[in-house]
Chain A
């Protein structure tokens, strides 16, 4: 079993839909949780950064962390075709800048 599980998709939604992306993990020591967006043939771009449990909102994006369930989510409201990309969750146990454990990524397609 992988340390971080993420549905590879592809997830196809119509423009304007609310998107829910999720990761589950097994290491209870993880404290720092990040979501990266990666467009094809580009490097990952940091979208959201969360420490411990709770919610964080930034524009159309909301990150949720439930440490008791070892489950994190990224919600995208009013999805746009430009949101079409692969979304990678990443987490770390002691410091967000240290070694990250990545999920396999979910490919999202938003259709106009």
Chain B
């Protein structure tokens, strides 16, 4: 149980385009989902907390107009990287709160490469 999926797993796009990443909790409902960014050989950096039916809470330094988060249902949150640039290239990971431990369960991650 407590499975979280992400789609796509990998995306390559041109500079200036927008990219949408989906995060789904497959076997549990998640009122809260989290979006992280991870650079090579570094730990997870929390970008924002997403609550179903309300606006996301962004961490300091994260541009909310650039990283649009929508948590439309109890099983789906989306992160849209708008007007992506090469510096946005990174590994994006979502997590969903729930499961037997009521803790965060992570998705497999999405690798974004902006050319």
Instruction: Give the docked Cα–Cα distance between A12 and B21 (Å).
Output: 35
Number of chain B residues whose Cβ lies closer than 8 Å to a Cβ of chain A: 25
Count A/B pairs, Cβ under 8 Å: 56
Say whether, besides A97-B32, A97-B97, A99-B49, A44 and B44 are in contact (CB < 8 Å): yes
**A95 CB–B CB distance under 8 Å:** yes
Q: From residue B58, how far is it (CB to closest CB) to chain A in Å?
A: 13
- Per-residue A-contact encoding for B78-115, CB less than 8 Å = 1, 0 else: 00000000000001010101100111111111010000
Query: What is the predominant secondary structure among interface residues of chain B facing chain A?
Result: strand
Interface contact A41-B109, CB-CB below 8 Å: yes
Interface contact A45-B106, CB-CB below 8 Å: yes
**B54 CB–A CB distance under 8 Å:** no
- A90 contact set on B, CB distance < 8 A: 104
Chain B residues within CB distance 8 Å of chain A:
2, 4, 6, 32, 34, 42-44, 46, 49, 91, 93, 95, 97-98, 101-109, 111
